[in-house]
Structure 1
Amino acid sequence: MKFTRKAAPVAATAALALTLAACAQSDRSSGSSSNSGGGDVKDTITFGAAGAPELFDPFYATDGETFRVTRQMMEGLVGIKPGTADIQPELATSWESSSDGKEWTFKLRDGVKFWDGEPFNAAAVCYNFERMFDQNEVAAGGPAGYWADVMGSFKSDAANALYQGCTPKDDMTAVIKISRPTSKFPTALSLDSFSMQSPKALKDGDANNVTKQGEGFGYPAYSKNPVGTGPYKLDKFDEANKTVTLVRNDDYWGEKAKTAKLVFKIIPDESTRRQELEAGSIDGYDLPNPADWKGLKDQGNNVLIRPAFNILYMGLNPQKNPKLKDLKVRQALYYALNRDQLVKTQLPEGATVATQFMPDTVAGYNKSLKPYEYNPEKAKQLLKEAGAEGMTLLFAYPSEVSRPYMPDPQKIYEALRGDLEAVGIKVQVNTKPWNGGYLDTVDNGGYDAWLLGWTGDYNSADNFIGTFFANLKANDFHTSATSYGAQLSKDLDAADSIVDEGQRNAAYEKVNQQIMEQDLPGLAISHSPPALVVSEKVKGLVPSPLTAETFSTVTVQK
């Protein structure tokens, strides 16, 4: 579902600098120009997106399809070095912490302006942080989830928040105070949700006025017309033609985007995305079906396989379905799932069965844990012991989307559904479009069980299990309704605050064991390597292990 940070003082994930070369055709008609990339190039990049953005204010976004767009327009204090999970300066040129790790001083980049002409300075930084901190009850309980995941609480519960304030030391120096040392800083500030936006535009657009609308949320006018500092800015979202058009920011502080226009064409069906690439109407797309990888390569396209830095899971909601409060019931569901078969038949080569809620490349991974075996008879016995034979489970999956950890949601769902029904569980099927109600329903606790996942942002256990379970009051697994949730939250906070790397990793290994053997708040399913495919005429795109590519360096040859 939801982010890129690097532990400080923890080492970040190893750099993976991969350069994208090319192949295939793109004879889409468009204007052309010459630039520093050499030769005649088109003035438009068209990329096939698997889903529509939910909105354009990254602070309230929680999904990759929205961030794919906002990442091109918005920047944070801290950025990510292309092709890696390492942080680098972005709107801050440097930073340092106090000896106790509770005060962080950021030197800001001079000469930066927001698109509306407003200056970027320390006052703007502090306005943004105070805006994020001061959320109403609706936003705090739903779309402001990234702040909750990182900072713990909002202004209404300031005493329990990690964030404790921001002060402009001078015009180009901002000081951020936090309540305790944490592996989150400063890398958490590279998350798209923490991008800097124009204070004037935020005020004028009533940016924090989030309301409840049925099972979803209503967003203010600003969310459709944000103002950032990035190399591209929003031109229009044509919902009828399902395209998002960005145009180059000619006043950008850094190297200008190499292509004048960037269009994201929303094509939910993967086979249609492939057909459009073959026809030349798009220049590339994300998440090609693993079954198509060889064929795409044979046609001359470049298929880049990213590392599997992700997790697919089945979320469980004991608040909505009280039977799920019983550990035996949760274990029964796990034993019912034939995950070996799922990985072999529904996921790409290189996918693996998960033993915990993070991949084995993350510090704190517990190597001693073994996968829950496929044992339908044991599942039936546990259901009988729990008095849950024939229980009903409202189990949902998303439509109109592909995700790195879930290439074909419906096929994965059908396989898991069949396993559950085979042990006597009555499955109530539910599906909604990814950004057409599914994510909102998950956030609002509308399902007993659902399929979702996560692509990690940096090499830290906090970014995986901390994101899922540390915030007792705001997590999709509703651990506040369980007997173990409060203790799990405390254990995760304690692990995150350990300064010594070896001791911290040992603490996370212990928590991983606790999650999988004692708590089991959800079912970790698998890890899958996602891919990206582009025409041979695309130059300059650097694939990201975080699936966080930027397009300002990209050109498309005529």
Structure 2
Amino acid sequence: MFRPLATLSLAIALSLAGCDGKSVQQANTGAPAQPQHGGVLRVAFDGDPNCIDPQQAGNNTALNVGRQLVDSLTDQDPQTAEIVPWLAERWEVSDDSRQFIFHLREGVTFSDGSVLDAAAVKANFEAIVALGAQAQLASTYLAGLETVEVIGPLSVRIRFKQANAQFLQATSTMSLGLLAPSTLARSAEQRCQGALVGSGPFNVKSFEHNRLVRIEARADYAWPSSLAEHKGRAWLEAIEFHILPESGVRLGSLLSGQIDVNTSVPVQDEAVLQAQGIASIARSNPGIVFNLTPNESRPPLDDAKVRQALNKAIDRSQFKGVISRYQKPASSVLASSTPYYQDLSAVLAYDPQGAGQLLDSAGWHKGADGWRQRDGKRLNFALDYWQASTPVLELVQQQLRQAGIELRLNKSTIGQVSLLQASLNYELWFFNLTRADPDVLRTVFLASGRNVNVRGPLALDQTLIDSAASLDVQRRGALIHQASRELLEQGHVIPLVEAATVTAFRDAVRGLHYEASTRLQFYDTWLAQPGSH
């Protein structure tokens, strides 16, 4: 049996109760000028995308590029979290949520002229599975895929081995965006470097690492999401993504008009931009908060007492002095804007005495110099990171110092950090992951999945699997709560700060907005002429 679309939409709306729909997304309030074609939008990133293939990428800069290149089967309303049509005009989901049938719209082509049909969907999903771990997010969304069957030129049936409550939302992400068969035939590395052909409103023109990504509008584009504000080709002629790691350079470039959009506004620049009358949009990121995740294959992080002590030694209330007004200290592994979020701040309470007792019982005692030692070795950890979050990490460093724990901070490039992570050569991993569905926990922490903890199987894994399979709203919520609590109580994750994305832009930039996963969608963006309102 299959559920009709209306019933499915109601189920989604119920399951996403509590999702934050109050994002700050209004900036230009004067009498609107009319949208117009043309212009090159200059956008600043704070780091190199590294790999711009949306099916492989996991970082926001890459996904912000990838979203412009590919279309998805569905889209997700950023205000209501409802799943709505895009490439698929309609769909049916079986009562056990194991089978999904999508009926595609006619006339869609990839930019090389090849047809986007049911066979192309089948080829894409099977290619993602073949990529394995290289498809950092996409492969986890397709875990348990059994078959992809073409049942008509524009109809495809996707079957999973078990119930898969998260899959419909996953089809709205750029990670499951569709690429032309000619792209699927290329190597993963070629695709990373820009050899990509999608059906989206823009095509890759060039990609120079640590300098620039240029994408150009596709003239015959005619199948935007049902959420789009216009039809036809994108308003912009092209977009240039400039890599500007230094926040001061991004600020100066925006104020001087050398760039049009700064996608990464640090807290210290917010007041300056406000005083200068620079427009901005901001939105909380659903998903996993910024955190430190321990590599449990390495001692002493294989000891739960040490991991638990790290959580207790951090006073998250102090973060308020160094984070954006759009952010807040973490109160769980999930951000409060995520469906099924529950406040677990009591588990994360600052308890320096408890931290000390745990470390003492684990054999790590304070020496005369204040550092904790065992067998003549100091308790210390290295953290290699690339994000613009140094003030928070420096505060964590100071707090852990009070507990006798040394945290060595090493800011590097995303490429260097990615190499360390890929080789499992890290002690603590600093990251957040945005997704408007709590299944992001299974994506990241499942031992048979991405397994950022590098740990062996635990009972936790079955809880994560069951949470992705449950179709009952209350049961799924209970399982997400159980998994979240266990991740915190066993020190598998040390949450720090809820992520928020703040984007500033010149007055000429219009129609800029975030999609449901707080990444930028440029299809409706346009540039007004000087003096327009």
The question of a shared fold, defined as TM-score above 0.5 by the shorter chain, is answered with yes
Distance 1:76 1:555, change over 3 A: same
Correspondence 1:531 to 2:502? yes
Report deviation, 1:220.
Answer: 3.3
The one of 167, 170, 173 equivalent to 1:191 is 173
CA distances 1:166-221 after superposition (whole Å, capped 9, x unpaired):
11111111111111222212111122121111112322x2x34xxxxxxxxxx236
Distance 1:284 1:369, change over 3 A: closer
Give the gaps of 5 or more residues in structure 2.
1-8, 224-231, 365-371
- Bigger mean CA offset, 43-52 vs 541-550: 541-550
Q: Please give the alpha-carbon distance, in whole angstroms, between the structure 1 residues aligned to 2:27 and 2:348.
A: 41
2:140 touches 2:449 (CA, 8 Å); kept in 1? no
The one of 321, 327, 351 equivalent to 1:351 is 327
Report deviation, 1:96.
Answer: 0.5
Q: What is residue 508 of structure 1 aligned with on the other side?
A: 480
Q: What is residue 226 of structure 2 aligned with on the other side?
A: none
Q: Please give the alpha-carbon distance, in whole angstroms, between the structure 2 residues aligned to 1:17 and 1:449.
A: 31
Q: What is residue 497 of structure 1 aligned with on the other side?
A: 469
Q: Please give the alpha-carbon distance, in whole angstroms, between the structure 2 residues aligned to 1:543 and 1:20.
A: 11
Q: What is residue 229 of structure 1 aligned with on the other side?
A: 199
Q: Give the fraction of aligned pairs with identical amino acids, expressed as a percent.
A: 23
Report deviation, 1:473.
Answer: 4.6
Q: Please give the alpha-carbon distance, in whole angstroms, between the structure 1 residues aligned to 2:284 and 2:321.
A: 20
1:163 touches 1:177 (CA, 8 Å); kept in 2? yes
Secondary structure, aligned partner of 2:68 = coil
Distance 1:439 1:10, change over 3 A: farther
The one of 205, 220, 225 equivalent to 2:190 is 220
Correspondence 1:542 to 2:513? yes
Aligned ranges for residues 326-341 of structure 1 at < 5 Å?
A: 326-341=303-318
Aligned length: 497
CA distances 1:337-378 after superposition (whole Å, capped 9, x unpaired):
23221x122211253332321123434333465153333343
The one of 524, 527, 533 equivalent to 1:553 is 524
Q: What is residue 183 of structure 2 aligned with on the other side?
A: 201
Q: What is residue 292 of structure 2 aligned with on the other side?
A: 314
Q: Which amino acid aligns with 1:257?
A: A
Q: Which amino acid aligns with 1:11?
A: S
Secondary structure, aligned partner of 2:385 = strand
State the structure with bigger RCO (CA 8 A, min sep 6), 1 or 2.
1
Q: Which amino acid aligns with 2:145?
A: Y
Report deviation, 1:472.
Answer: 3.0
Q: What is residue 416 of structure 1 aligned with on the other side?
A: 396
Q: Please give the alpha-carbon distance, in whole angstroms, between the structure 2 residues aligned to 1:447 and 1:14.
A: 34
Q: Please give the alpha-carbon distance, in whole angstroms, between the structure 2 residues aligned to 1:349 and 1:82.
A: 21
Secondary structure, aligned partner of 1:272 = helix
Q: Please give the alpha-carbon distance, in whole angstroms, between the structure 2 residues aligned to 1:251 and 1:350.
A: 39
Q: Please give the alpha-carbon distance, in whole angstroms, between the structure 2 residues aligned to 1:83 and 1:355.
A: 22
Correspondence 1:167 to 2:149? yes
Report deviation, 1:284.
Answer: 1.5
Q: Please give the alpha-carbon distance, in whole angstroms, between the structure 2 residues aligned to 1:19 and 1:445.
A: 39
Give the gaps of 5 or more residues in structure 1.
1-5, 25-35, 153-161, 209-218, 403-408
Distance 1:447 1:100, change over 3 A: same
Q: Please give the alpha-carbon distance, in whole angstroms, between the structure 2 residues aligned to 1:535 and 1:63.
A: 25
Report deviation, 1:84.
Answer: 5.8
Q: Which amino acid aligns with 2:194?
A: K
Report deviation, 1:233.
Answer: 0.5
Report deviation, 1:545.
Answer: 5.4
1:23 touches 1:537 (CA, 8 Å); kept in 2? no
Report deviation, 1:413.
Answer: 2.0
Q: Please give the alpha-carbon distance, in whole angstroms, between the structure 2 residues aligned to 1:58 and 1:39.
A: 28
Distance 1:499 1:450, change over 3 A: closer
2:332 touches 2:343 (CA, 8 Å); kept in 1? no
Secondary structure, aligned partner of 2:334 = coil
The one of 15, 19, 23 equivalent to 1:11 is 15
Aligned ranges for residues 333-482 of structure 1 at < 5 Å?
A: 333-341=310-318, 343-367=319-343, 369-388=345-364, 389-390=372-373, 391-399=378-386, 401-402=387-388, 409-434=389-414, 436-455=415-434, 457-458=435-436, 460-463=437-440, 465-480=441-456
Distance 1:334 1:368, change over 3 A: closer
Deviating runs (4+, > 6 A) in structure 1?
A: none
Aligned residues: CA RMSD: 2.6
Secondary structure, aligned partner of 2:412 = strand
Report deviation, 1:227.
Answer: 0.4
Q: Please give the alpha-carbon distance, in whole angstroms, between the structure 1 residues aligned to 2:221 and 2:384.
A: 40
Distance 1:427 1:194, change over 3 A: same
Report deviation, 1:418.
Answer: 2.2
1:113 touches 1:253 (CA, 8 Å); kept in 2? no
2:309 touches 2:354 (CA, 8 Å); kept in 1? yes
The one of 162, 165, 170 equivalent to 1:180 is 162
1:22 touches 1:535 (CA, 8 Å); kept in 2? no
- Bigger mean CA offset, 111-120 vs 547-556: 547-556
2:13 touches 2:82 (CA, 8 Å); kept in 1? no
1:8 touches 1:184 (CA, 8 Å); kept in 2? no
2:285 touches 2:518 (CA, 8 Å); kept in 1? no
1:328 touches 1:383 (CA, 8 Å); kept in 2? yes
Secondary structure, aligned partner of 1:352 = coil
TM-score (norm 1): 0.83
Q: Which amino acid aligns with 1:373?
A: A
1:337 touches 1:419 (CA, 8 Å); kept in 2? yes
Q: Please give the alpha-carbon distance, in whole angstroms, between the structure 2 residues aligned to 1:236 and 1:54.
A: 13
Q: What is residue 368 of structure 2 aligned with on the other side?
A: none
Q: Please give the alpha-carbon distance, in whole angstroms, between the structure 2 residues aligned to 1:148 and 1:100.
A: 22
1:413 touches 1:451 (CA, 8 Å); kept in 2? no
1:43 touches 1:260 (CA, 8 Å); kept in 2? yes
Report deviation, 1:16.
Answer: 4.9
Report deviation, 1:451.
Answer: 1.7
Q: Please give the alpha-carbon distance, in whole angstroms, between the structure 2 residues aligned to 1:187 and 1:371.
A: 30
Correspondence 1:149 to 2:140? yes
1:182 touches 1:498 (CA, 8 Å); kept in 2? yes
